[in-house]
Amino acid sequence: MIGSKKIMNPLNRKYWSYQLLKQANSLLKAVVLLLLLGACKTLPEKSFDFSGIENMVYSGELQKAELLADSLKATGTLGATNLYKLDSMVDIGNRIRIDFSRTEADVKKQLSKYYPVLDSTLFNQWETKQKLEMRLIDGEKRYFKNAVANLFRLDDEARKQKEIVDGFQVDSLDLFRLDHTRKIISATKNSGETVLPVRMKLTYLIDVDVNAVPDGEMIRCWMPFPREGNARQKNLKLISTEPENAKIASNKNLQRSVYLEKRAKKDQPTIFRIEFEVETSAQYFDLNSDEIKPYDTESSVYKENTCERAPQIVFTPKIKKLGHQILSGETNPLKKVQKIYNWINDSIRWASALEYSIMPDISGYVMDTRHGDCGMQTLLFMTLARSQGIPAKWQSGWMLHPGEVNLHDWCEVYFEGVGWVPVDQSFGLQDSQDEKVRNFYRSGIDSYRLIVNDDYARELSPKKKYPRSEPYDFQRGELEWEGGNLYFNLWSWDMEVEYK
């Protein structure tokens, strides 16, 4: 873990040969590295360039990146800021190892149920077409931990083979949404009003692994907490926390949290828990092109929500080209949103995602692979929309449909004369002959949403010392101790919902 001197994640350990090399030649490596970087002992802290190490991490040369990072630290020339940056890069490598944890043998064993005799040509085709996600890490093929599950989502023939073995399974959430959205549309008398409120009691728990932190050390925990002020979310009440003395972040925080502290105890798990009630409602906008006014391009709303925000919202030549292709000269804001939404619906499949912290360009990844989860599809939608002059902002938290409780991301778009309108890209066009039901999620949201975030990549309160496990979204929570960040592999979470 970053900056940790008391505990080490096993993923940080090098092979014994590397350890010997490190001990025997650290001084020589330091001198060589400094010459390569053009550095000297008096070089100002801000002038260090770590792009070479960063490139090694993202290209899968993790051992080499760690070796160079250790060599550079051994020179003693780095200040606190640069040590933080360097440790963060090395930590990204460890996260990549966790996400790409399966060997080729692991993957073939998972597939053996459906392909007892697996043709190597077919296997290679899945890899080449990025339907079976793989990276070379330190020269070895390593597969995404959810690669097999994603294969059945991304390849039609593989999905058919799975259905032959397992049988066809109806998606209960799809059926629930169809029925629920029909009711929302029927209940909406005035476009944009909130309807069908649902009262819920939520209990969220974080369980830190036994001995993940040394005995007696303080663990700092940030847990997701609902934002207030949105018409779809009200009557919020915090019931209890464990431990007590929680600090609730101001509603001004666009990523809102409850902050807790607790000391680790040897051989015991560390539990954090919050319990609260909230009322959430649905909202549907029955829009038509004629009611949308031209944008006031000088307004703060327009400027703040049509700009780039590197690294995840960047108007690359590829994004601009795609946006122009999708819109084909369209100028009406509503039709622009509908065309972008429909293109992503038709072109990008839902698939389980890599951790966002290991993805330097999410929109580019989605365009290249033609798949992504809810947040990845939302970021692509937002990037395309903003690049074409449509104000769009992030919104996320939880989907709380009965039996389908999970993390979820969506967004809102702004129409002049109407205001902010919810858009759920990944829920897509529904299987219905009724156009309003089919297109519901282009301008509506259901009752079962918990809004925790009204933006992405915003500071938590109090400020976190170490890099976040999830630098953009905030749903599961964040933890750290004096020795470093506690990544997701060192704790688990659980959300219980009681519908009132």
Reported as a single tens digit per residue, the pLDDT across 167-190 is 999 999 999 999 999 999 999 999
Q: How would residue 47 be classed by pLDDT, with cut points 50, 70 and 90?
A: low
**Structure-model confidence comparison of residues 21 and 219, the more confident one:** 219
Band of residue 42 on the pLDDT scale cut at 50, 70, 90: very low
The answer as to whether 461 is a domain residue is yes
- Nearest alpha-carbon partner for 487 in 6, 20, 8: 8
Contact, 402 vs 177, CB < 8 A? no
Paired sense of beta strands 371-372 and 349-350, if any: parallel
The SS3 assignment for 410 reads: strand
Per-residue model confidence (pLDDT) at position 46: 59
Same domain, 449 and 362: yes
> Do 92 and 222 sit in the same domain of this protein?
no
Do 283 and 305 sit in the same domain of this protein? yes
- Please check whether residue 331 lies inside any domain of the structure: yes
In this structure, the number of other CB atoms found within 10 A of the CB of residue 51 comes to 8
- Buried b / exposed e over 264-273, threshold 16 CB at 10 Å, is beeeeebebb
Verify that 162 and 202 share a domain, yes or no. Answer: no
Q: What distance in Å separates the CA atoms of residue 55 and residue 59, rounded to the nearest whole number?
A: 6
Section 237-252 average pLDDT: 97
339 and 468 in a single domain? The answer is yes
Q: Is residue 146 part of a domain?
A: yes
**Residue 192 shares a structural domain with residue 62:** no
The reply to whether 4 falls in a domain is no
Q: Is residue 2 a part of any domain in this protein?
A: no
- The tokens for 10 are 């096993």
Note whether 184 and 161 are same-domain residues: no
> Which pLDDT tens digit goes with each residue over 369-386?
999 999 999 999 999 999
Structural domain for 313, as ranges: 172-500
Per-residue tokens: 212: 């993940």
Do residues 249 and 263 both lie within one domain? yes
Other beta carbons within 10 angstroms of residue 19's beta carbon come to 11
Q: What CATH number has the domain bearing residue 485? A: 3.10.620.30
3-state DSSP assignment of residue 458: coil
The pLDDT of residue 452 is above 80? yes
Q: Are residues 392 and 472 in the same domain?
A: yes
Domain count, the chain: 3
Cα 483 to Cα 285: distance, rounded to the nearest angstrom: 49
Residue 1 inside a domain? The answer is no
Tokens describing residue 133? 């996600």
Q: Is pLDDT of 308 > 70?
A: yes
Q: How confident is the model at residue 34 (pLDDT cuts 50, 70, 90)?
A: very low
| Residue 473's pLDDT band (cuts 50, 70, 90) | very high
Predicted local confidence at residue 323, as pLDDT: 98
Choose the final residue of a domain: 118, 136, 166: 166
* C-beta separation of 359 from 380 below 8 A: no
Banded pLDDT at 49 (limits 50, 70, 90): confident
The alpha carbon torsion through 65, 67, 73, 79 (nearest 10 deg) reads 0
Q: Among 51, 81, 99, identify where a domain stops.
A: 99
In a domain, 127, yes or no: yes
Residues 82 and 176 in one domain: no
The span from the CA of 474 to the CA of 452, in Å, is 8
What is the value of pTM for the model shown? 0.90
Residue 478 resides in a domain: yes
Per DSSP bridges, beta strands 484-485 and 233-242 are unpaired
Q: Are 405 and 471 within one domain?
A: yes
With beta carbons less than 8 A apart as the criterion, state whether 392 and 413 touch. Answer: yes
Contacts of 28 (CB under 8 A, 6+ apart): none
Residues 32 and 73 in one domain: yes
Domain final residue, candidates 149, 166, 183: 166
